[in-house]
Amino acid sequence: MNVDFCKFGRTVSLPSGFFILISTKTFMKIINKKVKLSLVGLDGNAFVLLGAFSKQAKKEKWSKEEIGYVLKEAQSSDYDHLLRVLMSYCYDDGCDDFDL
């Protein structure tokens, strides 16, 4: 499924899973990366989760604009939205640790 984005009369077709960031300088940038962070086991407080994401993103050399976009989008609605947004930008390769 592709998503069309229109800015300044130009339409850009993006595959699903890609995100657009428009900075204060009005340029477009595609954010298609994730930080290595497991939200499982962290204090469920929204500020703790946002802080953990921000700290890890800085550690992984994300730009201030990219981090700011994710944080702003995460805080744009309710707690469930915050979790969905943060989970979409995080991955955890330690899933092998669990016995199912």
For 27-53, what is each residue's pLDDT tens digit?
Answer: 335 678 999 999 999 999 999 999 999
Count of structural domains, the chain: 2
> Are residues 28 and 8 part of one domain?
yes
> Are residues 57 and 25 part of one domain?
no
| Interval 7-35 mean pLDDT | 57
> Are residues 6 and 47 part of one domain?
no
Q: What is the pLDDT of residues 65-80, one digit of tens each?
A: 999 999 999 999 999 9
CA dihedral over 33, 36, 41, 47, signed as positive or negative:
negative
pTM of the model: 0.66
User: Hunting for tokens 């499924």 — which residue is that?
Assistant: 1
> Across all residues in the chain, what is the average pLDDT?
77
DSSP state of 96: G
> Are residues 89 and 42 part of one domain?
yes
- State residue 19's pLDDT score: 55
Cβ density class 54-92: b for 16+ within 10 Å, e for less: bebbeeeebeebbbebbbebbeeeeeeebeebbeebbee
